[in-house]
Amino acid sequence: YINRRSPRVTTTSYLSEFRKSEKRRDSLLRSDKGDLGRHDGVSNSVVVTWQVTFEQIRQEQPRAANLLSLMSQFQAQNIPESMLHSYGDDDVTADDQSDRDDWNAENVSDEESERGDFENDMDTLRGYSLVTLSTAGLCEMHSLVQFCTRSWILESGDPARWRRLFMKLAADHFPSGAFETWGSCQSLLPHVESVLSGKPRGQSDVLDWTELLTNVSQYMLMIGEYSRAEVLGEEAAQTRKNILGPDHPDTLTSMANLASTYCNQDRWDEAEKLEVEVMETRKAKLGADHPDTLNSMGNLAFTWHSQGRQKDALALMQDCVHLRQKKLGHTHPDTQSS
């Protein structure tokens, strides 16, 4: 800190700032004594030293302070750089999807400028030895730096805004669980684990949360973690039903995914109940020949087949084939699959 501010900052002037910040040391440490206790031999003066640094960064380069605040919401190691490019005040304060969409539409042409800002902000943080950045696009911060940053945010920032932004980024970036995305899912899972069990308060934040739950649940289903997939899937389906209603497309998607989880556990009766509801609702809302409706028919036919109801399964699948032939043609892959 002194080296970067020299000659305007001397040891004497730094100690003066240090003593001012030390007055708030006790309240700062009360926020999480347990975490600090894991760093044996670290004196309280280290925390105060970081606090002085954070305040200086916020004064001289607020965007860099924003970046550090966002990074502290991740796990300390292997933070993907690709998720760190939305931390300006506009990103943080956008509370609904329309605001975010408008902001994105207006600033597409500024991508190159934003990239330059990010590099400058990252350079500032690296200059203070707060973070490191690898050639593989992964960032790291020492766990003590992470703790001190979180404590600083609690003391003098707005922790809720950073949790909201992290939730949105997690929902946007966590893949759907398809096989080709498993590597990304595995690397992102440690970062999102901490928010899976705590439902946010604001409706927009809750919807981001249910999107994240849905995608993580699908990943768990694909890798055979059926119990975990079920817990997350049930929470997503019920929350979406409460907020969006039972016939909303996102609600129906969550219900269909949950039914798949039941199927993979041979719980056919529970799967059938959901699949019938999803199929009938989609048929009423979207029409009998809508692709989503036809997918639901195929899923239910498979469940009936697994229950030994061969005639019912065959009749439903024949209807599905006929509708797909009429809608998509005889050579379409979905028709051929049916």
Q: Are 214 and 253 in contact (CB under 8 A)?
A: yes
133 - beta bridge partners? Answer: 139
Domain limit, last residue, from 139, 157, 175: 157
Choose the weakest-confidence range: 38-42, 72-76, 183-187.
38-42
In a shared domain, residues 153 and 285: no
Most confident listed range (55-59, 105-109, 314-318): 314-318
Within a domain: residue 39? yes
Within a domain: residue 210? no
Within a domain: residue 278? yes
Residue 36 scores a pLDDT above 60: no
Domain limit, last residue, from 97, 132, 157: 157
Residue 32 scores a pLDDT above 60: no
Within a domain: residue 224? no
In a shared domain, residues 142 and 273: no
Domain limit, last residue, from 157, 182, 203: 157
| Domain count of the fold of the chain | 2
Q: What is the pLDDT of residues 143-193, one digit of tens each?
A: 888 988 988 898 877 899 999 999 999 999 999 999 999 999 999 999 999
In a shared domain, residues 273 and 151: no
Tell me, what's the pLDDT at 34?
44
Tell me, what's the pLDDT at 197?
87
Within a domain: residue 255? no
Q: What is the pLDDT of residues 286-323, one digit of tens each?
A: 999 999 999 999 999 999 999 999 999 999 999 999 99
Within a domain: residue 142? yes
Within a domain: residue 199? no
In a shared domain, residues 301 and 152: no
In a shared domain, residues 12 and 147: yes
**For 108, how many CA atoms within 13 A lie in the half-sphere containing its CB?**
3
**For 202, how many CA atoms within 13 A lie in the half-sphere containing its CB?**
14
Residue 15's pLDDT band, with cuts at 50, 70 and 90, is confident
The residue range of the domain holding 55 is 1-157
In a shared domain, residues 144 and 282: no
85 three-class SS: coil
Residue 29 scores a pLDDT above 60: no
Within a domain: residue 81? yes
Q: Are 190 and 231 in contact (CB under 8 A)?
A: no
